Amino acid sequence: DAGVIQSPRHEVTEMGQEVTLRCKPISGHNSLFWYRQTMMRGLELLIYFNNNVPIDDSGMPEDRFSAKMPNASFSTLKIQPSEPRDSAVYFCASSPNEKLFFGSGTQLSVL
């Protein structure tokens, strides 16, 4: 099994640009999570899906952030427009139950 696959691994963009982060969960896992990691705030839960349905998006910081899961094998996290304070590592994780399996993350830098 290839594990949770995130792309891109690194993203550098300019303020105001749209950014799309992608995640392919492990096959058979019915839950998918998006987290953001920063030095200041640690690991924050942004949103999670169960059976492709968004269950809790209370951690999404503002309307600039949106997430979709069109099918069981793909999810996106979009930031539009991006701002320098969005710079962080964004992790996707999938789970068949309570145990989370993390991807390697996307390092986002907004200049």
Spatial CB neighbours of 34, under 8 Å, sequence gap ≥ 6: 23, 45, 46, 47, 48, 67, 75, 77, 90, 91, 92
Is residue 71 part of the contact set for another protein (CB under 8 A)? no
Pick from 1, 42, 70, 71: which binds another protein (CB under 8 A)?
42
- Find the binding residues for another protein in span 46-65 (CB under 8 A): 48, 50-51, 55-56
Tokens, residue 12: 């550098």
Read off the DSSP letter of residue 85: G
Is residue 72 part of the contact set for another protein (CB under 8 A)? no
- Largest distance between two CA atoms of the chain: 38
Stretch of residues binding another protein (CB under 8 A), selected from 18-26, 43-51, 65-73, 78-86? 43-51
- Nearest CB to another protein, comparing residues 5 and 111: 5
